Amino acid sequence: METVTITMKNAPALYLEADNVSPDAFAGKTAAQISELHVHEGNTTSALGKYFEVKGDAGATAADTKIVVKGDVKKVKYLGFKMTAGELVIEGNTDLYVGAWMTGGKILAKGDVAAFAATAMKGGDLVIEGNAGNYLGAAYRGDWRGMSGGKILVKGNAGSDIGMYMTGGEIVVNGNVDVHALTHAEGGKLVVKGNAKSKVGGQMIDGEIIIFGSIDTMMPGFKPVGEVELEVDGAKAKFSHFIGDMGERHKKRKGQVVYANLYKKL
Amino acid sequence: MSEYIIKNGHVFDPVQGIKGDKKDISIKDGKIVDKVSSSAKVIDAKDKTVMAGAVEIHAHIAGPKVNLGRIYRPEDKLFSCTATHGMERMGGGASIPTTFKTGYEYAKMGYTTAMEAAMPPLFSRHVHEEIRDTPIIDEGAFPVFGNNWFVLEYLKNHEVENTAAYIAWLLRVTKGYAVKVVNPGGTEAWAWGLNCLSVNDPVPYFDITPAEIVKGLIEANEYLGLPHSMHIHPNDLGNPGCYQTTLDTLKLAEGFKAKNNFGREQVMHLTHSQFHSYKGTNWADFESGAKEITDYVNKNKNITIDTGNVTLDETTTMTADGPFEHHLTGLNHLKWANVDVELETAAGVVPYIYSPNISVCAIQWAIGLEIPLMMKDPMRCYITTDHPNAGPFTRYPRVIKWLMSKKARDAQVNAFKHKDKVLSQTSIGSIDREISLYELAQMTRAGPAKSLGLTSMCGGLAPGMDADVAVYNFNPDKPVTNPDDIETAFSRCAAVFKSGVQVVQDGEIISIGNKRTLWVNVNVKENPQVMRDINEKFVKYYSMSQNNYEALGHHFVPNPYALEVDATQA
**Mutating which of B75, B79, B81 best tests the A interface, going by the most A Cβ atoms within 10 A?**
B75
Pair A107, A99: CB distance under 8 Å: yes
B74·A141 Cβ contact <8 A = yes
Q: What dihedral do alpha carbons B123, B129, B132, B134 form, nearest 10°?
A: -90
Q: Which value, in Å, is the radius of gyration of the alpha carbons in chain A?
A: 20
Pair A232, A210: CB distance under 8 Å: yes
**Helix intervals (H) in chain A:** 23-26, 31-36
DSSP states along B157-198: TT-HHHHHHHHHHHHHHHT--S-EEESTTHHHHHTTT----S
Is A222 inside any structural domain? yes
DSSP three-state, residue A127: strand
A144·B74 Cβ contact <8 A = no
Is A258 inside any structural domain? yes
Backbone φ and ψ for A157, nearest 5 degrees, come out as -100, 165
Cα within 13 Å of Cα(B339), Cβ side = 19
Pair B467, B457: CB distance under 8 Å: no
Q: CB neighbours of B517 closer than 8 A, spacing ≥ 6?
A: B128, B131, B132, B138, B139, B140, B175, B557, B558, B559, B560, B561
User: Chain B within 8 Å of A36 (Cβ-Cβ)?
Assistant: no
Q: Is B482 left (phi over 0), alpha (psi -120 to 50) or beta?
A: beta
Residues B190-193: contacts with CB within 8 Å, 24+ apart?
A: B190/B322, B190/B323, B190/B326, B190/B346, B191/B340, B191/B346
Share of chain B above pLDDT 90, in %: 98
Beta bridge partners of residue A236, listed in sequence order: A231
DSSP class of B341:
E
The residue type at A82: K
> Which range marks the domain in which residue A124 is found?
115-265
From the list A140, A144, A249, the residue facing B335 with the nearest CB is: A144
Full pLDDT tens readout for chain A, 266 residues: 999 999 999 999 999 999 999 999 999 999 999 999 999 999 899 999 999 999 999 999 999 999 999 999 999 999 999 999 999 999 999 999 999 999 999 999 999 999 999 999 999 999 999 999 999 999 999 999 999 999 999 999 999 999 999 999 999 999 999 999 999 999 999 999 999 999 999 999 999 999 999 999 999 999 999 999 999 988 899 999 999 999 999 999 999 999 999 999 99
Residue B32 has pLDDT above 80, yes or no: yes
Pair B179, B223: CB distance under 8 Å: no
With beta carbons under 8 A apart, name residues in chain B contacting A141: 74-75
H-helix or E-strand containing B215?
A: helix B210-224
CA distance B375 to B293: 10
Beta bridge partners of residue A45, listed in sequence order: A40
pLDDT of residue B5: 98
CA distance B82 to B301: 44
The closest alpha carbon to B461, from B452, B450, B470, B453, belongs to B470
Beta bridge partners of residue B31, listed in sequence order: B28, B466
Q: CB neighbours of A60 closer than 8 A, spacing ≥ 6?
A: A27, A28
| Total number of domains in chain A | 1
pLDDT of residue A67: 98
Fold category of B51-509 in CATH: TIM Barrel (3.20.20)
Beta bridge partners of residue B26, listed in sequence order: B5, B33
DSSP states along B72-112: H-GGGTTT--B--BTTBPPB--SSS--HHHHHHHHHHTTEE
A140·B335 Cβ contact <8 A = no
CA distance A120 to B390: 26
**Helix intervals (H) in B286-405:** 290-299, 322-332, 359-374, 396-404
A142·B72 Cβ contact <8 A = yes
Residue B486: pLDDT band with limits 50, 70, 90: very high
H-helix or E-strand containing B141?
A: strand B138-143
In angstroms, the separation between the Cα of residue B238 and the nearest Cα of chain A is 23
With beta carbons under 8 A apart, name residues in chain A contacting B72: 142
CA distance A25 to A34: 8
Pair B525, B537: CB distance under 8 Å: no
Distances (CA, A) of A71 to A39, A52, A92, B97: 17, 9, 7, 40
pLDDT tens digits for range B97-150: 999 999 999 999 999 999 999 999 999 999 999 999 999 999 999 999 999 999
Chain mean position to CA B233: 11
Calculate mean pLDDT across residues B542-564: 95
Dmax over CA atoms of chain B, in Å, equals 69
CA distance A34 to A11: 18
- pTM here is 0.96
Mean of the per-residue pLDDT values of chain B: 97
ipTM value for the complex: 0.91
Backbone φ and ψ for B490, nearest 5 degrees, come out as -85, -5
Residue B2: pLDDT band with limits 50, 70, 90: confident
Pair B112, B468: CB distance under 8 Å: yes
The closest alpha carbon to A120, from A153, A143, A104, belongs to A143
pLDDT tens digits for range B236-247: 999 999 999 999
Residue B71 has pLDDT above 70, yes or no: yes
**Mutating which of B68, B73, B77, B78 best tests the A interface, going by the most A Cβ atoms within 10 A?**
B78
The closest alpha carbon to B288, from B395, B362, B392, B232, belongs to B362
Is A48 inside any structural domain? no
A141·B72 Cβ contact <8 A = no
Chain mean position to CA A31: 29
Report the b/e string of B247-271 with b at 16+ CB within 10 A.
bbbbebbeebebebebebbbbbbbb
Calculate mean pLDDT across residues B288-302: 98
H-helix or E-strand containing B139?
A: strand B138-143
Residue B339: pLDDT band with limits 50, 70, 90: confident
pLDDT of residue B1: 61
Residue B434 has pLDDT above 80, yes or no: yes
B75·A249 Cβ contact <8 A = no
Backbone φ and ψ for B532, nearest 5 degrees, come out as -65, -40
Q: Which residues of B touch A (CB under 8 A)?
A: 72-76, 78, 333-335
From the list A139, A141, A144, the residue facing B334 with the nearest CB is: A144
Is A208 inside any structural domain? yes
The closest alpha carbon to B387, from B55, B56, B98, B52, belongs to B56
Is A75 inside any structural domain? no
Calculate mean pLDDT across residues B488-510: 98
Q: CB neighbours of B432 closer than 8 A, spacing ≥ 6?
A: B406
Pair B27, B6: CB distance under 8 Å: yes
User: Chain B within 8 Å of A236 (Cβ-Cβ)?
Assistant: no
CA distance B62 to B119: 8
CA distance B245 to B101: 37
Cα within 13 Å of Cα(B473), Cβ side = 15
Question: Chains A and B: how many Cβ contacts under 8 Å?
Answer: 17
Distances (CA, A) of B188 to B121, B146, B191, B496: 15, 9, 5, 43
Pair B141, B231: CB distance under 8 Å: no
Is A104 inside any structural domain? no
Residue B26: pLDDT band with limits 50, 70, 90: very high
Residue B319 has pLDDT above 70, yes or no: yes
Q: Which value, in Å, is the radius of gyration of the alpha carbons in chain B?
A: 22
From the list A142, A144, A249, the residue facing B74 with the nearest CB is: A142
From the list A139, A142, A249, the residue facing B73 with the nearest CB is: A142
Chain mean position to CA B351: 20
From the list A140, A144, A249, the residue facing B78 with the nearest CB is: A140
pLDDT tens digits for range B345-368: 889 999 999 999 999 999 999 999
DSSP class of B513:
T
Report the b/e string of B439-452 with b at 16+ CB within 10 A.
bbbbbbbbbbbbbb
pLDDT of residue A94: 98
Burial class (CB in 10 A: 0-12, 13-18, 19+), A131: buried
Residue B562 has pLDDT above 70, yes or no: yes
